């Protein structure tokens, strides 16, 4: 019976780590959650630029999902996260290597 508790605890910790990894909670990553949903790519890029500028970053879009934020290249991708049954659009900017 003890092994069941150990296994369940390890599985829970593993799922927590996986969730955080998928949601972009890592050092150097930038996360943005928008109140509205962007379907048009150009509007989405403009919203990202506006949000980063409001946060005090210098930002420009290079194309091909690449932003230059504070003179460092980032690749952006999105995740759809269900929050209370409603999908939320999360933008994650990952440092480009």
Q: What is the mean pLDDT of residues 75-97?
A: 82
Range(s) of the domain holding residue 85? 28-95
How do residues 72-84 score in pLDDT, each as one tens digit?
A: 999 988 888 776 7
Is position 20 within any domain?
A: no
How do residues 32-66 score in pLDDT, each as one tens digit?
A: 988 788 899 999 999 999 999 999 999 999 999 99
For the chain, give the DSSP string: -HHHHHHHHHHHHHHHHHHHHHTT-STT-EEEE-SS---SHHHHHHHHHHHHHHTT--EEEEETTEEEETTEEEEEEEEEEEETTEEEEEEEEEE--
Per-residue pLDDT band for 7 (boundaries 50, 70, 90) equals confident
Is position 38 within any domain?
A: yes
Count of domains observed in the chain: 1
How do residues 18-30 score in pLDDT, each as one tens digit?
A: 655 555 456 788 9
Is position 8 within any domain?
A: no
CA distance 62 to 76: 11
Is position 22 within any domain?
A: no
Is position 40 within any domain?
A: yes
């Amino acid at each position: 019976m003890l092994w069941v508790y150990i296994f369940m605890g390890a599985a829970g910790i593993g799922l927590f780590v996986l969730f955080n990894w998928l949601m972009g909670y890592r050092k150097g990553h930038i996360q943005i959650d928008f109140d509205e949903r962007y379907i048009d790519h150009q509007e989405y890029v403009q919203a990202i630029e506006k949000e980063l500028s409001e946060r005090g970053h210098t930002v420009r879009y290079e194309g091909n999902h690449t932003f230059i934020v504070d003179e460092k290249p980032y690749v952006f991708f999105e995740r759809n996260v269900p929050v209370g049954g409603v999908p939320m659009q999360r933008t994650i900017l990952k440092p480009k290597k």
